[in-house]
Structure 1
């Protein structure tokens, strides 16, 4: 099929379809894409404008708060629809991109859930995204397999694999390779339509539903948009209400003030909320960009022990359990080390992090590497025992968590070492992302878009407010550019000249410079980065 053909009226592909991809873009799929895009894209565009309006108020001195007009929802007696049996136990979840070998390995890991990610762990190349839909279709059918072309090793699903949940893209991301009426289809909508259409029957045959993670919501009206999208496609394909069940990531600062409202808006489709801690830190920086008294210190000291993050976790648990919903914990991004002493330290940090989460009342948690599973399983067993979850932990005796608690400034230094680490991490991640990899091991951590976002927005904010490093030097554009040049040389030596030349490091360096020294904050690095894919 050539790029200028119209497979369905007013639907245009900017890429040719391979025979394999044609199976994903069936006539039914194309018709649904056109129909749902026309119905829901205008409202989505209005919601994105509303985000900018809200941000303008924060930039002009306002702070996020609980909305007076929805107090009746927060104070009302209601609960979400009953959680399906196969979603009630989610002690341990692992995440990763929708790459075929990784899907098989993750589903075979000692975890309850694999979250297959079309979002922050996936570079949104056309080939990667659509091949990902094929991979997930095969995984749900149970016949996914893979042969490594280099080693010849074969991969196949074991008996009783983990539960598969797919994460769609955020509402802000377009799909530039697919146009309806001359405008890009929203990436989130495309991911959902294709995943639902190609998997609802195989899931139903197993007595299950179409299970999703929904990222980066900022307002309950966005949750209501998703609710209406879910209901519309359920009705269109004559499936019962609640065939779609989602977990919403609370990973933006505005959303933490809207958790009751988000649960209420999606009450027929939602099963829980998740502490997306890394994106939440990024959102704290981005939302409070104009507030000089809320500038964060080094990324390394912004842990869950910081008061604003501790309050966020505890409020999420209390809110979810009050409404009969699961409260999922955050990501342990560590990668096990082959050095036994170093690995012992890593596992000690992971154990402490998960002890805090489960003792607070979280129902499950995330890891980035299967090597962490035994440690986290041990912690989960200590707190949950035979219980599938901790919804019975109400936290009703807690002192009320205020807006001030959720906005509490963080203590800690801004150091030269922290700034240089931010530069190296952001540079390496952006280069990998531009090369088609969305999930990358860097310095012992599995990094995705969220951690790169923290790294570059921290420096941007330090520059904007003229903050000083611990040695007294003021952070300026000139200081950043000097460090960027020096750290780029360090990275070039680490990766070698061949990789530096072949993996978009020069483009990544230019992009990192542009977005870090710009006078206006770039909302998401993936938006200007997407132009290079």
Structure 2
């Protein structure tokens, strides 16, 4: 195995934590050497790409708008396809996602979904313990030894024919401060990817199961090309054939919507599809266009996938993927079962069915759910309308999507209930995140970092652009926000909700971010400084 010498560990990698024995096995000397090699080879390039993001955002804040790139027109206009799709990924009609907590991993693998996306990113609070425990859990899942016994004495194990495992590392922007190389914190993306690949890639390759990855938060083809270079280097170091690692890219940023062809092309030998990361995409629309008063959106409950700018994005993704021979994956159903209220539960399931029907009829090859109970609901729709393993033959030649369509805001209102819900979701999610929990059920929806970011960005825009009103003409102002936040802090502090003990810390952070003159790029960056 062509790995760097072990002495690199002692010289370059500093561990700023006290892992337990199981976690220490993940942080073996050779594994740390592998991480150090990735950092030294690729981190400066990553930092340059993040600087380029900031430069682009400054231009958009000054009045420019995103557009299709002139310098990559040849890629969009020429004929080419991605590489062959592995057999294990040819039928992805329902995928389940969730954090890498041990019991959740078992339940997701046993859910009946075709794919389980094990998430080190938006549905996980990236404490070092959470990230390392997740690596232990996935290593055991790959080895076939994953089990769990609950405090109540119930035993869980992985059944025969589990879902195919796909891993989502953190985005390029997130650091891992508990591991430094040459005095610099590593990228969370390289830590998550590197540890999983080091411990599992060869075993998965021997079984024709990857390794497979979901790549989040990309904004341009250069960021995709960096992932391609990282994986090519890792394949060499792990004695894997070139192109063994396959990826699906989440198109969950507004800039990336203008570069779908280019992103697939940058990952051509390993790309198998793109995914409509709808919630992050809405957040990115808000963040990218934060300086444009004419691009404000109504409350998030009114921003459905049927509104014009989201419909255009979804259809462009389908057309792009199928032209290139790739999968076009649909978005997340965030609903969770409502116990004790059959009518409300059926209404929630009806929304899921309608959403999945829209996706399959538009040409998507599969979809996401957040809860095992939704797997049969989504699968029934896709089975009825997609009898074949996928529908890459649906070309969608009727789709013509312009820059203006991708940027057009939707109409709607901001109600008192919608405003208050955003405050509540911001606070409760942040408090739970600070307490180590990255996905939180709130009012029968599974909220993760993406949905909390929508709530935060909307509050910032509504308040900073000023002179906005509710339908009854009452003003939307900072006094109202401060009052709502104080009320929700009081309720959360006295509740049994996740994060109740971090209510005050969360409120202080949210208040600072909402009152700040500039919309912070990510909630999770300042929050990370307060995470264990």
Normalised to the residue count of structure 1, the TM-score between the two structures is 0.96
SS of structure 2 residue aligned to 1:495:
coil
Q: Residues 454-465 of structure 1 correspond to what in structure 2 (within 5 A)? A: 454-465=454-465
Q: Determine the C-alpha separation between the residues in 1 that align with 2:473 and 2:494.
A: 29
Partner of 1:531: 529
Question: 1:337 deviation in Å?
Answer: 1.2
Q: Determine the C-alpha separation between the residues in 1 that align with 2:152 and 2:15.
A: 35
Q: Say yes or no: does 1:172 pair with 2:173.
A: yes
Task: Spell out, residue by residue over 1:241-261, the C-alpha distance to the aligned partner (whole angstroms, 9 max, x if none).
Answer: 111101000000000000000
| Conserved 8 A contact 1:256-1:312 | yes
Question: 1:223 deviation in Å?
Answer: 0.2
Q: Say yes or no: does 1:36 pair with 2:38.
A: yes
SS of structure 2 residue aligned to 1:441:
strand
Q: Determine the C-alpha separation between the residues in 2 that align with 1:205 and 1:227.
A: 21
Partner of 2:3: none
Partner of 2:393: 392
Q: Determine the C-alpha separation between the residues in 1 that align with 2:490 and 2:25.
A: 46
Task: Spell out, residue by residue over 1:162-199, the C-alpha distance to the aligned partner (whole angstroms, 9 max, x if none).
Answer: 11111000000000000001110000011111111111
Q: Determine the C-alpha separation between the residues in 1 that align with 2:43 and 2:241.
A: 24
* Structure 2, unaligned runs of 5 or more: 1-6
Q: Determine the C-alpha separation between the residues in 2 that align with 1:184 and 1:78.
A: 39
Q: Determine the C-alpha separation between the residues in 1 that align with 2:205 and 2:417.
A: 52
Q: Say yes or no: does 1:144 pair with 2:142.
A: no
Task: Spell out, residue by residue over 1:106-165, the C-alpha distance to the aligned partner (whole angstroms, 9 max, x if none).
Answer: 1001210111000000000001101100100110111100111x2011100111111111
More moved, 51-60 vs 27-36: 27-36
Partner of 1:83: 85
SS of structure 1 residue aligned to 2:180:
strand
Question: 1:6 deviation in Å?
Answer: 9.2
Task: Spell out, residue by residue over 1:309-352, the C-alpha distance to the aligned partner (whole angstroms, 9 max, x if none).
Answer: 00000000000000000000000000111211111101111000
Q: Residues 97-176 of structure 1 correspond to what in structure 2 (within 5 A)? A: 97-148=99-150, 150-176=151-177
Question: 1:493 deviation in Å?
Answer: 4.9
Partner of 1:408: 408
Q: Determine the C-alpha separation between the residues in 2 that align with 1:340 and 1:295.
A: 36
SS of structure 2 residue aligned to 1:366:
strand
Q: Determine the C-alpha separation between the residues in 1 that align with 2:279 and 2:24.
A: 36
| Conserved 8 A contact 2:248-2:275 | yes
Partner of 2:245: 244
RMSD across aligned C-alpha pairs, in angstroms? Answer: 1.3
Question: 1:22 deviation in Å?
Answer: 2.2
Question: 1:23 deviation in Å?
Answer: 1.4
SS of structure 1 residue aligned to 2:201:
helix
SS of structure 2 residue aligned to 1:520:
coil
* Structure 1, unaligned runs of 5 or more: none
Q: Determine the C-alpha separation between the residues in 2 that align with 1:483 and 1:23.
A: 47
Question: 1:266 deviation in Å?
Answer: 0.4
Task: Spell out, residue by residue over 1:365-385, the C-alpha distance to the aligned partner (whole angstroms, 9 max, x if none).
Answer: 000111112211110011111
Partner of 2:429: 429
Normalised to the residue count of structure 2, the TM-score between the two structures is 0.96
Q: Determine the C-alpha separation between the residues in 2 that align with 1:129 and 1:492.
A: 27
Q: Determine the C-alpha separation between the residues in 2 that align with 1:488 and 1:22.
A: 38
Selected match of 1:521 from 513, 516, 519: 519
Q: Determine the C-alpha separation between the residues in 1 that align with 2:83 and 2:278.
A: 26
